[in-house]
């Protein structure tokens, strides 16, 4: 007698109790469209339920710390760019500030203005890419095309001022590598006027889309205690309602001279600290970045774009620990110098590594589809996880 016949006759109810259900070990990645690079997640599933999701990293280990010990301080900057390749400007700004604090270099005010403007543009570009790819993860392809349309405009501006589209090597120790031309200033003004209404368009398109909110609300919840346990920073921390932003709380560069709000998650759609909260914090941050650029773009002072720095940066012996607010969280550099031209040791504390380390805890017992939503909302870049 076939199973369907047994089902009809209602006799299968006795046998389902005896059905054996095995846990299945699934390898997600390293080649997978939703892992944002070469992440491999070893997933133990029980039917559709995720019992454990262990991230295995190291597929993009590019030996950053080893390189830093073998090139001089200026030479590290291109490698810093390649850590988090979606936010090169923010990364190299952190490195430049770290070295400048050790040497005691005074950065010209013009350079500070250019730095902050460019870093905020990069933050918008990075969040735009998150917006696009998160839409892709959720099955919405249109958002990707919208996001790249605007992102290309930012990249054009970057190309104008630094000569490159993705990895710029723009923030040098002591200032920036090239001055910002008046044409670039005009282009940035045009861009922020064009871009600000687009955020509302994105919200209509994706943020409050019923299908999207159903997929992301009350999924992948991170509470404040988890953040403190794992040392999470940035959007992960702000997503669960903690108002902590280094630009506001420990301001570096000229962030203390600009006014902006720190958006935090509110649990508006579901639970506080869910995927949707983290997503929406990023959307609001784009608006704040526009606000910062708008305050600075008309007030760029004249003067040199780079301070007096020799060809080889001489760093006195000592140690320094500097952290800056990158789009993905706090990026910190711990530098030990022995007084020679090259760093003795460089340690990079990357936010993405901490973000991905929470994956196992926050995805226990969720459905497989929610695992994808959670990985996407962590917004990891494997170049920075593996370094």
Could you list the residues that contact other proteins (CB under 8 A)?
Answer: 30-33, 37-38, 58-63, 66-67, 70, 78-79, 82, 85-86, 129, 132, 144-146, 148-149, 151-152, 155, 165-167, 382-383
Pick between residue 50 and residue 154 the one whose CB is nearest to other proteins: 154
CB of 130 to other proteins, least distance (A): 12
Pick between residue 155 and residue 250 the one whose CB is nearest to other proteins: 155
Q: How many CB atoms lie within 10 A of CB 180?
A: 22
Q: Tell whether omega for the bond before 30 is within 30 degrees of 0, i.e. cis.
A: yes
52 phi and psi, to 5 degrees?
Answer: -150, 145
CB of 2 to other proteins, least distance (A): 33
DSSP letters, 25-46, are: EEEE-SS-TTSSSS-EEEEEEE
180 phi and psi, to 5 degrees?
Answer: -90, 125
Contacts of 225 (CB under 8 A, 6+ apart): none
Pick between residue 48 and residue 152 the one whose CB is nearest to other proteins: 152
- Yes or no: say if 189 and 121 are a contact pair by the CB < 8 Å rule: no
CB of 70 to other proteins, least distance (A): 5
For residue 349, give both structure tokens: 């504390």
Pick between residue 245 and residue 386 the one whose CB is nearest to other proteins: 386
Rounded distance between C-alpha atoms, residue 85 and residue 238, angstroms: 23
CB of 325 to other proteins, least distance (A): 22
CB of 145 to other proteins, least distance (A): 5
Q: Using alpha carbons only, give the angle 245, 249, 252 rounded to the nearest 5 degrees.
A: 90
Pick between residue 70 and residue 181 the one whose CB is nearest to other proteins: 70
Identify the bridge partners of residue 27 per DSSP, sorted by sequence position.
42
CB of 27 to other proteins, least distance (A): 11
Pick between residue 65 and residue 257 the one whose CB is nearest to other proteins: 65
DSSP letters, 285-323, are: HHHHHHHHHHHHHT-PPPS-SB----SS----SEEEEEE
24-28/175-176 β-pairing = unpaired
CB of 71 to other proteins, least distance (A): 8
CB of 13 to other proteins, least distance (A): 39
Pick between residue 70 and residue 256 the one whose CB is nearest to other proteins: 70
Pick between residue 48 and residue 69 the one whose CB is nearest to other proteins: 69
Rounded distance between C-alpha atoms, residue 198 and residue 363, angstroms: 33
Pick between residue 74 and residue 292 the one whose CB is nearest to other proteins: 74
- Yes or no: say if 312 and 72 are a contact pair by the CB < 8 Å rule: yes
Q: What does the CA dihedral 116, 118, 150, 287 come to, rounded to 10 degrees?
A: 0
CB of 175 to other proteins, least distance (A): 23
């Amino acid at each position: 007698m076939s199973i369907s016949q047994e089902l009809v006759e209602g006799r299968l109810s006795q046998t389902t109790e005896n059905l054996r259900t095995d846990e299945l070990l699934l390898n997600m990645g390293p080649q997978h469209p939703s892992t944002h690079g070469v992440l491999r997640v070893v997933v133990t599933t029980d039917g559709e339920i995720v019992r454990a999701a262990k991230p295995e990293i190291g597929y993009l280990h590019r030996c950053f710390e080893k390189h830093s010990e073998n090139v001089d301080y200026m030479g590290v900057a291109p490698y810093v760019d390649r850590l988090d390749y979606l936010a090169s400007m923010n990364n190299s700004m952190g490195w430049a500030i770290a070295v400048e604090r050790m040497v005691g270099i005074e950065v010209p005010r013009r350079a500070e203005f250019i730095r902050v403007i460019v870093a905020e543009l990069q933050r918008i570009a990075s969040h735009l890419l998150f917006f696009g790819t998160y839409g892709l993860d959720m099955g919405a392809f249109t958002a990707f095309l919208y996001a790249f349309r605007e992102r290309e405009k930012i990249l054009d501006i970057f190309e104008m001022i630094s000569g490159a589209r993705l990895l710029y090597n723009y923030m040098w120790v002591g200032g920036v590598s090239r001055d910002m031309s008046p044409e670039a200033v005009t282009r940035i003004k045009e861009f922020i006027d064009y871009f600000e209404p687009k955020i509302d368009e994105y919200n209509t398109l994706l943020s409050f889309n019923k299908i999207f909110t159903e997929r992301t609300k009350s999924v992948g919840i991170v509470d404040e205690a988890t953040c403190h346990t794992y040392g999470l920073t940035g959007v992960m921390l702000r997503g669960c309602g903690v108002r902590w932003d280094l630009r506001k709380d420990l301001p570096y560069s000229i962030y203390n001279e600009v006014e902006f709000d720190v958006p935090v998650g509110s649990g508006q759609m579901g639970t506080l600290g869910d995927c949707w909260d983290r997503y929406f914090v990023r959307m609001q941050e784009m608006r704040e970045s526009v606000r910062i650029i708008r305050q600075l773009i008309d007030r760029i002072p004249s003067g040199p774009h780079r301070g007096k720095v020799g060809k080889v940066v001489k760093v006195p012996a000592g140690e320094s620990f500097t952290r800056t607010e990158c789009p993905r969280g706090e990026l910190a550099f711990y530098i030990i110098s022995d007084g020679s031209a090259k760093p003795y040791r460089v340690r990079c504390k990357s936010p993405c590594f901490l973000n991905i380390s929470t994956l196992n805890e926050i995805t226990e017992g969720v459905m497989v589809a929610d695992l994808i939503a959670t990985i996407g909302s962590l917004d990891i870049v494997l170049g920075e996880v593996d370094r």
